Each structure stands twice: as C-alpha cells, then as structure tokens.
Structure 1
C-alpha cells in the first residue's frame, strides 16, 4: 500500500487477517517525511499486546514492513500515547484487537484524554462500548475508567481500559431500527479552569436541546490537583439514546484559537448540541464517527448475514469498506433508502474466530 492515510485501519485489519503489510511513500513529499510520533507509538502498542510481530522501518521512516504476530492481550500493561494525538486515536484499534486476544486485556494509557481531533474518552465510555453488545460481546469486564484528564497541548491524562475476549466469535447483527430519541445525556468537563466553565457549557447545550425534548441531563465533571493534567481545558460530550437502544454522540473540546485563547464555553455547548441534532437528523443506528468500527465488526461476524442502517456514508466509512474488501474479502451490499435518506448495508461475515482462546 502507499501513503500514510488510514494507517490505523490497515494495521488492525492486517493483524486480524494475519496478512503481512508493506506501506511505501509514507509522507515522502512532505517537509517532515516518514511516520509521525503517534503512528510509531501505535506500532509499539500493537507490539505490546502481541507476540512475535515483526516491524521494519527504513531510515527515513517512509517505508514500513509489518508482519502480524499472535494477539496475546495481557494484564497491567502501561502505554504512554504521547501528545501527538489523543488517547481516542489508540482506543479504537485496542478495543477491536483486544476482543480477539489470548487473554483479556487490561491497559493503562497516558496522554491527552480530550481534544478536538480524536473522539474523547467520554464518548468511548458512553457510546462506543455499549455498541459492542449488539455483536455479542460480554459487557461484564468491558470498562473504561478515567483516572485523570489531560487537555492539549501537554496532556497528563490517564485512563484504564479493560476488554474481555469474545467467547469464540462475534454474533451477526440485524440492526436497522433507529427508534425515536427518548433522552439525552452528557458530560461537561473542565480541568485547571473555573468550575463555572462546565456549567456555562451545560446551559448553552440545554438551551438548544430542550426544544427537542425535556429529558436532557448533562453531568458536570470538574477535575483538580494531580487529576487535572498539565494544561487548562474544557469541553462537552453528548449522547442521544433512542427507544431501540441506539446511541448517537457528538462532542466539542476547547482549542486554542490564534493568540492562545480558548473558545467560549457557550460556543462549545451550542456547537456540540447542534452537531448532535445533525446526527439525529441524518439517521442510522450509529453516528458518523462510529461507521468504520460498525463495518469492521459486521465483517468479523460468523458466515451469517449482518444488516445495519447508517445515515449518509462518511468518507472514513467508505474507505473502511474498501479496506475490509482487500483484507478480509467481505463485500457489502449498499442500498439507499430514499424514504428516510439513510443507507442499508448488508454483508456475509468472514467467519472470523478467536483462534487463541483455550477451548474448555
């Protein structure tokens, strides 16, 4: 393969399909050629949870050879994610790979917990993990605990992720009924700033969402001392829960605009609320940021039919479908539903099984 795009997906699908991978021309024409720090960190992380994987990188970092090993999982592992990307960048690959390990995974990740580039840890806890139960993942033992928050640029956050192994394989899902939104929940967090900032975001978000429905409850989560990381920051993560158990999420985190001033909390609250309404309007059983994960889970199911409904296909979702076809040989049937403006996707799973699990 060529280029640095979709590096995580390629690595995850290469590991699961046990296919050796070579990537050429990684940012070859860039001023800073080769792998970025966070991509090298992800490679080290995959190395930590597997046995016998081989990684070769040339001197300039523009060529990578990767030979997958055996997914071992493991307890009490620790990884520093650095400050190049948020912890959310590392969580999605970890969750998928952790499910198919030899042993359950328990790992502490350190770095930036909430930023504007990657999904924040709150969204993972409230939207991503509950999604796995639709594919037969045991919810007992699936946990994400925020020990300390870390805002960019210096981070200092810490989370503990626990992922159980799937009994033998996932279960195929027919998940097409979105239902109606029945309640909205959220977390408004702040670190190293006045706790009042979190309340201002809540008020702004409620001002928008209460026009849709009355059942809106947003927790405030203020961190102080050693648990507040190394940089000031604040943001909000919202989830809408439907009558059929679908969870749609949106979030906003403060970013430095120009002369190192953070955005107004009112703007963030309003922006997150409007994004959530947009996701609800698009329809589908998951929001646009979770499409890639949903498709990978469908492709890893037994050789049975999975059928899911999503809103407008995101560019990330489309690329995921292409990679799934290349690595796992699974092709999705895509049918637009003009009545609702959503898209129905159907596939027959690859029959992937957890080969490393001891059979009792």
Structure 2
C-alpha cells in the first residue's frame, strides 16, 4: 500500500489483469496505483482499449479520478460512485471487441444508482472475446441465477461489426440490484436437452451461412434431435464495415445450464493484433470446427463454459456472506488469475476441491457481502 494524499492506494505493477483491477477497484472502492505498465515494451504504456475502458468507467461514474503520466506507464485511479444512466454512448474502438467491455460494464451497472442504458459501438463478433450473441444467450442466463431481475435486462444488436473495421452497434440495458446478489448452490450440470444458435454473414452470400449451419447441425444431430440454428444475413449499414461470417451456438441442459461457443471468419484485411484462425476454412469445415469446440466445452463438464469461469467466480465472491458452491471444468488461466485478484481486492478465498470421477472442480466461498449502496444516495 502507498499513501497518496489522504487516501490509501493499493500499489500494483505491470499491465497484466488491467480490466479486472479496474473492475475490482471500483467495486471495492479501493484506489489503486499501477506502475511499470509495459515499461519495457517497444510501445510502452496503456493500450488503446485499456484507455477506452477507463473512459467508459468514467462515463458511468461520478467523482472518479483518473491520472495517467505522459508515457502511459503509470496510472492513478480513485473509484467514484457508480451512477448508471440513460441514453449513454461509447465507442469501444477496434483493438478489442465489445465483449471485452461488456463483462466489467455489466457487473458495475448492477451496483449503480440508476439502471444503465448505453449504446456501444465497435466490433460485435471477434475471436478474442465472447460475442454479443453469447452475452445474450448465456451470460444473461447466468446473471439470473444470482438474482439479477429479468426485467430491464437487454442486449440488442442493431448493426453487426467484425474485424478489422467493425461498424457494429449494440444497445445494452442493465437493471440495478436493490440490495445484493443471491448466493448459489450450483453443481448439477444436467444433460444437454437442446442446442440453439445463430449464423451471420456480412456482405457475402447467404449460401455460406446455410453451408455452415448444415455442417454444424450434421454433427449435433448425431447426439440430439432438438437443434435449431437461425440465420442473420446482413448488408448495408447493418453489416458493419468488413465482410465475413460467423456462428454462435449454445447448449442448454436439463438443469438450466447454458454452454456456449462462437467463432468468426473475417474476409477483410486483418489488423496486426487480430489472428483469425478460421479465416481460410471453407464453410463446411468451419461448421464442423465450431461444433467440435462446443462438444469439447460440454465434455469438460461444469455448469458454465470456459469463457464464463472468471465471471462466475466474481459473482460468487460478490454475494452476501453466505456460502456459494459451483462446479466447473478444468480451470482456465484467466479463471485462476480471477481467483487471485478476488482474494487481493475483496479478501474472499475459495476452497477448491477436485472431483476425480467427473474430472471437474468444485469451488466454495463465503461472499464478501457487497450491497448496492449507490441507489440510496441522493
């Protein structure tokens, strides 16, 4: 810890875990100082999407303080009051997809003074972040498990946008929780009972979508009859600024779990920091590829897919001082980092118990008891 002025700041180093540090700092009201942010890199300092995230947090907060030195290698951040708000707008840029911003934004908005309504502009589907489709089909279902009200929870895709030029627009609405989240005992994975999905194409033949959908369904129909994948063919402004196609699929289980996977193919010139592994696959192979990814997620077990482990643990940690118990598959590096950051900022430690017969892991924690105090402020 370092004392700057009258407020005690947590001192951190390096550019790793930036998004989580800002999120947890805001939730815990702990000011932070981060030094040596990529100080040894050829392009030192904060990245464009990290600066954009700070501006987004500033946009939904009141009285937060953000100070960045000239080189961008040092940040002082003092959280403010989460306000929420209506008719807000934020350009997420092109260096990360909108999914990068959605996870912290949704969690913060739950603890706001007022419900949040915001339009986000940028990349709706990419290979580095959960797509906006995944947030619609899966993330929102997980939030409901923790007592987030269904009324007022919405994510509407107005325009799709893929790398490299984006052009997407989504409208996000998040209600506030009036006291706190609800602890969960969530270890029953259930059996897959249906699969739903969406294929999309921007500025290319809709036949590509049909070939992808047919190949994907061909794999799943070997296991389950209830498979429906609809198409979303777009042109003009609704298709953004880059040609390509993609798919998002979700498996729903008998116990109400939702397991997702998504992927895209960009037909535009690629930015250096985007690596679309699927860009040379024919649609049939691409469809088989995404089906295999989802089957792999199902096989590894757990009540959420690997993309949602970190968010699951964060929601458990934010619950009242009651025990939450969840089951996941093999812990991802991001999830492990999340557990460490939760410990450092919230003081919440998880008990981790491997379950060898199922090759899954059961985690238990006592929530920190975070309450939405912002809504009581005048």
CA contact (8 A) 2:243 2:267 kept: no
1:327-357 Cα deviation digits (max 9, x unpaired): 0000000000011110000000001000012
Tell me which of 69, 73, 79 is aligned to 1:62: 73
* Shift of residue 358, structure 1, vs aligned partner: 3.0
Determine the structure 1 residue equivalent to 2:151: 140
Q: What do residues 134-193 of structure 1 show as CA deviations (whole Å, max 9, x unaligned)? A: 101101100000000011111110000000000200010101100000011000011111
- Cα distance between partner residues in 2 of 1:233 and 1:41: 26
Q: Could you tell me how far 1:359 is from its partner in structure 2?
A: 8.9
> Counterpart of 1:97?
108
What are the superposed Cα offsets for residues 100-142 of structure 1, whole Å, 9 maximum, x if unpaired? 0000000000001111111111011001111101101101100
Distance 1:229 1:256, change over 3 A: closer
Matched, 1:18 2:29: yes
Q: CA contact under 8 A between 2:60 and 2:84: conserved in structure 1?
A: yes
Unaligned runs of 5+ in 1: none
How far 1:268 sits from its partner (Å)? 2.1
For residues 267 and 252 of structure 1, the distance between their equivalents in structure 2, rounded to whole angstroms, comes to 12
Q: TM-score normalised to the size of structure 1?
A: 0.97
Which consecutive aligned stretches of 4+ in structure 1 deviate over 6 angstroms post-superposition?
A: 257-261
Answer with 97-106 or 111-120: which moved more.
111-120
* Residue of 260, 265, 275 corresponding to 2:293: 275
SS of the aligned residue for 2:375 comes to coil
CA contact (8 A) 2:113 2:377 kept: no
Which residue does the alignment assign to 2:360?
Answer: 342
Shift of 1:236: 0.5
Residues 25-51 of structure 1: CA deviation (Å, up to 9, x unaligned): 111111111111111000000000000
d(CA) in 1 for partners of 2:269, 2:288? 21
Of 184, 189, 196, the residue aligned with 1:185 is 196
Calculate the TM-score normalised by the size of structure 2. 0.93
Structure 2 distance, partners of 1:258, 1:74, is: 37
The 8 Å contact of residues 183 and 213 in structure 1, kept in 2 or not, is answered as yes
Query: CA offset at residue 203 of structure 1?
Result: 1.1
Match in the other structure for 1:162 = 173
Q: Does 1:329 find its partner at 2:347?
A: yes
Residue 305 of structure 2 corresponds to which residue in structure 1? 287
Cα offset, 1:251, TM superposition: 0.8
**3-state SS, counterpart of residue 291 of structure 1:** helix
- Tell me if structure 2 keeps the 8 A contact 1:47–1:53: yes
Does residue 227 of the first structure (1) align with residue 245 of the second (2)? Answer: no
- 1:308 corresponds, among 322, 326, 335, to 326
Deviation at 1:223, TM superposition (A): 1.1
Alpha-carbon distance in 1 for matches of 2:85, 2:164? 30
Give the structure 2 partner of residue 265 of structure 1: 283
Q: Find 2:61's aligned residue among 40, 44, 50.
A: 50
